[in-house]
Chains A and B, each alone.
Chain A
Amino acid sequence: MPLADATVQTVIRCEQVHRRYTMGDAEVHAVRGIDLEIARGEFAAITGPSGCGKSTLLHLLGAIDAPSSGRVLVNGRDTATLGDAEATTFRLQHVGFVFQRFYLMPTLSAQENVELPLAEAGLGKAARRSRASELLGYVGLGDRRGHRPTQLSGGEQQRVAIARALANSPALLLADEPTGELDAATGERLLDLFRQLNRDGTTLVFVTHDHVVADTAQRVIRLLDGQVSSDTRRGER
């Protein structure tokens, strides 16, 4: 059975999603009854102050966390019904992740980092190489394939991470503070790349605490205390 229906136009649907967890002795109610829909091809930013539940929501959308109550449907599939192995396969096939700290494997080359999810998906060596080269060319690093992360700038590392996230052609690309560790100019170039990706058909949701960065998206979802305080599209702002 396919893990998700790629034909649905709503990529993400959240229905009364709550997420509570304990931290030390305290219970944190990070997400409080969020209802949200993100359509295929959207470019959305989730923003808000520190501790408002942005990253928690992103993790829920990416099926690396499950809601305490409510439903998160990605490509029509309720992520809470997935077992660990199914959720992992789901992430591999349908979700691409970009992290603030890049999280590239420091001992592998850029090419090998991009090949990792392709190898997990079972692609042969030649196909992996070809796809990784193509993606690194797409993010402007065609000539840096053999470089290790330590030999790349922060912006280049984040581009490799994006190429890795795109490896298995996911329906959804999720990014957690993707410009957080980059200087302003490099961050701006990265956002250009996001816009390019979106124009090419990728559904993209990213989390940022920076209003200026958030405003580059077509849609800005502001959270406050775990709830959506505003949800605006370009032209409405």
Chain B
Amino acid sequence: MSMRATLAFATLRRHPARTVLAVLGIAVAAALLLDMVMLATGMRESFRSLLLTRGYQLRVSPKGTLPFDSEATIDGATAIVAALRANPDITAVSPALGTTLALPGQAFPSVFTLGLEADVQGDYVLEAGRDMPVTAGPSAPLPAVVNHTFLVRTGKRLGDTLTVAAGIDAQLRTAARNRVVVLTGEGRFFYVPAETPVMALPLPDVRTLLGPEYRDRMSVAMAESRLGDSVSVEAVRSWIATTQPRVTAISTETAIRQVEERLSYFRQLAFVLGAISLGIGFLLVATLVTLSVNERRGEIAVLRAIGTQKGGVLRQVLLEGFMLSGAGITGGLFLGLITAKWLNGILRDFPGLPAAFDFFLWSPEAAWKSLALLLVSGTLAGLLPAWRAASIPIIRSLREDAVG
């Protein structure tokens, strides 16, 4: 350690309680700043990561709607999906039909159900048991993949069967169609809130269960562009919009932009709180270093008298600010990560949020940038007291100190 660093460290050690409190204050400011940066970037990145979980960059939904924004479905789904699959720039298409099926005799009356093609589906990842086939046929029990909440709330296990019903007549309390379902797998569904029971069934069987009017319908289709860059994805989106007038195609980037617009309040809040935490860190360092310099006017005058240049005093005091900020930021990094995890846990419990959605996301670049900004800010906070220290009139300070 250099002599200047030794002296700076020793100066901070001189009043341990005061230094510890200041470091704690800076740590809290750094933690708040880090959390705000994680919040501001986390929701966007989490949403992007959520949408790109299985590589699909495009969502195709009924004209004028967002995916699963309404109960509207797309007629002529087979032709649309075939046309998309025929495009060499599209590598995969995953159609989905969302509906609610009744659960006669179960603890809760109905379950949100997704009709999917198992080989291309992008809605869940299998965590236990077996996946469902593309279609089960008319007589066999329908194989289903359900989420953990479904199993908990029905008290069922994998391998158990139950009956699902569609076309319920409320007055007659009868169902138009029933099917026995066997629970073959447990999956984690990306877009469905964790607290919502959900079931995935083969798409053709869901269509059959819902009746003839659903024979050729889908709620949404996800498409994957062969080239993943935004220009290529936009070209595919534009082609879909031109060739398929009954649908709206939306890219991940567009969806993120729309979400960002909706979340702009959060970002502004995060920006304001982050700026406040920067200001608090700045003021804490400035206050402590100013106090320290005022207490040491005599000592600083002696340093100047025995041959320390003004620049040396300036660097000395700036180093104190740097050390304070550095210690506070190191503590703040840990504090920020812990509080972010805790707050994320609370916010993720909000109803209606997709299971794979995070509010606070560790984004290294943003986090390091924000902490570096705080470090620079804290170091610069020492600039004014450092300049004052370097400008101390030697004789007057020695005289005042002798009198004092």
Contact = CB atoms under 8 A, between A and B. Distances in A.
Given A88-B304, A91-B307, A99-B398, A119 B299 contact: no
A82 B10 CA distance: 33
Given A64-B395, A100-B402, A92 B307 contact: yes
Interface stretch (A44-52, A73-81, A106-114, A224-232): A106-114
Interface in B157-211: none
Interface residues of A, number: 32
Contact of A116 (B11, B13, B306): B306
B401 A117 contact: no
A101 interface: yes
Contacts of A168: 307
Contacts of A85: 309-310
Nearest to B11: A107
Interface residues of B, number: 26
B134 interface: no
Contacts of B308: 88, 116, 120
A91 B306 contact: yes
A121 B307 contact: yes
Interface stretch (B1-9, B93-101, B362-370, B371-379): B1-9
Interface in B1-56: 2-4, 6-7, 10-11, 13-14
Interface string A93-136: 10011011101011110001001110111000000100000000
A89 B305 contact: no
Interface in A31-65: 59, 62, 64-65
Contacts of A164: 306
Contact of A105 (B7, B305, B312, B395): B7
A99 B304 CA distance: 13
B299 A115 contact: no
A232 B307 CA distance: 32
B309 to A, nearest CB: 5
B111 interface: no
Contacts of A121: 307
A103 B298 CA distance: 8
Interface string B384-402: 0000000000110010011
Nearest to A101: B402
Given A105-B10, A107-B13, A119-B2, A165 B306 contact: yes
Given A116-B308, A119-B2, A121-B307, 17 more contacts: A64-B395, A84-B310, A88-B308, A91-B307, A92-B306, A97-B305, A101-B298, A101-B401, A105-B10, A107-B7, A108-B6, A115-B3, A116-B306, A117-B306, A117-B307, A128-B3, A168-B307
19 contacts: A64-B394, A65-B394, A85-B309, A89-B309, A92-B306, A92-B307, A96-B306, A101-B402, A103-B302, A105-B10, A106-B14, A107-B10, A108-B10, A112-B3, A112-B6, A112-B10, A116-B7, A117-B307, A120-B306
Closest 10 CB pairs of A and B: A92-B307, A107-B10, A119-B3, A103-B302, A120-B307, A64-B394, A107-B14, A91-B307, A88-B309, A117-B306
